[in-house]
Chains A and B, each alone.
Chain A
Amino acid sequence: MLQPSRHLALLLLTLLAVVISACAPDRPTTKKATLLNVSYDPTRALYRELHAAFADHWRATHNQSLEINQSHGGSGKQARSVIDGLEADIVSLALAPDINVLHTKANLLPADWQSRLPHNSAPYTSTIVLVVRDGNPKSIHDWDDLTRPDIKVITPDPKTSGGARWNYLAAWGYALRAFDNNADRARTFLAALYANVPILDTGARSAANTFVRRGMGDVLIAWENEAHVILEEFGSTKFEIITPSLSILAEPPVAVVDTVVDRRGTRDIAEAFLHYLYTPAAQEIIAKHHFRPRDSDIAAHHAADFPSIPLLTIEDFGDWDRVHKEHFADDALFDQIMTARR
């Protein structure tokens, strides 16, 4: 049992502590900070390393320990989770529309989010390549081989997998080039390609599983970084990467979620982290994980890992809104192709 005088002393001490801490706002804060980066499936290993590197950097420069947590899943599902209240300080998703909906559906960030950072807010890029079985037994070299009747193609459903929209657009872009922008012939090409798809997995990871472990199909359409992961995991003696004559620049963007960082007071750290992604140190980690770095010096240093091929960009197709309306909306081109298959 405490005596009244000791109660008073404790109270005074507590008050004193409060006053002191209030009087010293510019004292270096030692409170541990946490961030949540909500990302998509294939970036797990990349961000584990980037988060650790930035936490070291932040501790060295700001004398504050930092923990960045990460959440991974299908890009579209992750976007919906953030809209439904998952407190993401940062989002790093597979394609711009998945971040754009955070503005249009929930106003969590401003409309101009993509111009706040260099390179369309995409600190790394990738492209779409073809993975075939060892020795390339069906001699697949380019997109037009995928429409041959003897070929089975594994690619996820662009309706459920954001990443697979890049696969689809790369093939569409190739067809438009090959047929002098004749949309009808490009459409026939795409219909022939998707007629060769026996299984539409819901995500990139399960498609890779179907191709690699279940042995289904002759060719897997995959992100370049994922293709390298497959080769690392299963040995380059079982699979080969085929770089097509034309592909697409996949730009997975990053953004700070304004309403979350303002409420949590984490804007400074979150923004610093996103800027850090463009530094040579981070770009080196990015290249190590088989994403294409934006930094030209680092890119030049890794030129052997990233074959130089002509790459279309989303601007070649208008913009995402238009692409969505023409291709991926309900009953748009992709649905028409799949329905016509019956």
Chain B
Amino acid sequence: MLDAALQPVPRKSRSILPGFGLTMGYSLAYMSLLVLLPLAALALTAAKLSLPEFWDVLTHPRTLAAYRLSIGGALIAALLNTIFGVIIAWVLTRYTFPGRRIVDALVDIPFALPTAVAGIALTAVYAPTGWLGKPLASLGIQAAYNSTGIIIAMMLVSLPFVVRTLQPVLEEFDPELEEAADTLGAGRISIFFRVVLPALTPAILTGFALAFAKSIGEYGSIIFISSNMPGKTEIAPLLIMKRLEAFNYPAAAAIAVGLLAVSFILLLIINLLQAWTRRSASL
């Protein structure tokens, strides 16, 4: 998905590059071992349920509440990260300032941070007794142990996906296009919205999709900053853990399959949207 966004669509149907069979074989084998086989095992486990049982698990009020929270939270986190990720990527590629490389390196920290560490650190800051949580609480804003805290954790772990997707595209973006628009009399705001933004849209959508996918599956950091209340602040991955804890493997797998299906549909829509924007941009 990432590569597709960054490279021009090949016009040719047959490649002149040798080694297609070999590399394709390795790719398929690798993908099967890492992705497809575990997914198949998941589907098989869920298939131990009959269809009505499967449906009952998915439509249980608690499952629905967990889906709403996980999907809704991930959408909000991805949206906010997309807005601020664009700004961060813009700052990092367009300006030189002291410490730029340090800021650039900081963006990757959430990739490397063990999620439990991220959760404990976030809670230390945002809990009502924390450095930021305390002043916020005096303003009547609670930033931990509720859905706000969950979204903050999702934003932390998924930020690098947006920034790192946008950066190369912004670096490649030809400043002459902006200069041309400028000489043709376009204002600065209209240059950004009518020249720069359309060129960035496919990458923005990719970044959004990656951030959404990462947020929806996040578990380790969220359980520390969430109050984990059933039906309220219980994310879908935690509900899956609870079903596992009760040795209810089929129900756990069913909830996971449902979550994957929704995520897959949303990612598919984003991909289609991306193809559409790329087509309309090249017209």
Contacts and interface: CB of A to CB of B under 8 A. Distances in A.
Is B one of A's binding partners? yes
Interface of A: 76-77, 80, 101, 105, 157, 159-160, 198-202, 206, 209-210, 213-216, 328-330, 335, 338-339, 341-342
Interface stretch (B79-87, B197-205, B229-237): B229-237
B246 interface: yes
Contacts of B145: 198-199, 216
A51 to B, nearest CB: 26
Nearest to A328: B246
Contacts of A201: 223, 228
A200 B116 CA distance: 16
Contacts of B246: 159, 328-330
Contact of B241 (A202, A214, A335): A202
Interface size class on chain B is 20 to 34
A209 B122 CA distance: 13
Given A160-B245, A199-B228, A330 B129 contact: no
B242 A159 contact: yes
Contacts of A339: 61-62, 230-231
A105 B247 contact: yes
B244 interface: yes
A328 to B, nearest CB: 7
B233 to A, nearest CB: 9
Given A202-B241, A330-B251, A335-B62, 5 more contacts: A201-B223, A202-B228, A338-B229, A339-B61, A341-B231
Interface in B212-237: 223-224, 227-232
- CB-CB nearest 4 A-B residue pairs: A215-B129, A199-B227, A214-B127, A338-B230
Contacts of A159: 242, 245-246
B232 A330 contact: no
Contact of B223 (A105, A202, A213): A202
Contact of B248 (A199, A200, A330): A330
Contacts of B123: 210, 214
Interface string B124-145: 1001111000000000000001
Residues of A contacting B: mostly: loop
A80 B245 CA distance: 8
Given A159-B242, A330-B246, A200 B231 contact: no
Contacts of B247: 80, 101, 105
B6 interface: no
B120 interface: yes
B164 interface: no
B31 to A, nearest CB: 24
A213 B224 CA distance: 12
A216 B228 contact: no
B84 to A, nearest CB: 27
A291 to B, nearest CB: 24
B68 interface: no
A206 B129 contact: no
Contacts of A209: 120
Contacts of A200: 227-230
Nearest to B119: A206
Contacts of A215: 127-129
A194 to B, nearest CB: 10
B154 interface: no
Contacts of B130: 214
Question: Which among A80, A214, A330 has the greatest number of chain B C-beta atoms within 10 A?
Answer: A214
B128 A216 contact: yes
Interface string B239-256: 001111111100100000
Contacts of A338: 229-231
Question: Which among B120, B223, B251 has the greatest number of chain A C-beta atoms within 10 A?
Answer: B223
Contacts of B229: 200, 338, 341
A206 B120 CA distance: 9
B238 interface: yes
B153 to A, nearest CB: 14
Nearest to B62: A339
Contacts of A206: 223-224
17 contacts: A76-B245, A159-B245, A199-B228, A201-B223, A202-B223, A202-B238, A206-B224, A209-B120, A214-B123, A214-B124, A216-B128, A330-B243, A330-B246, A335-B62, A339-B61, A339-B231, A341-B229
A226 B247 CA distance: 27
A204 B243 CA distance: 19
Contacts of B224: 206
A40 to B, nearest CB: 13
Contacts of B228: 157, 199-202
Contacts of B242: 157, 159-160
Contacts of A76: 245
A83 to B, nearest CB: 9
A200 B223 CA distance: 9
A338 B242 CA distance: 14
Nearest to A194: B229
Contacts of B127: 214-216
A209 B244 CA distance: 24
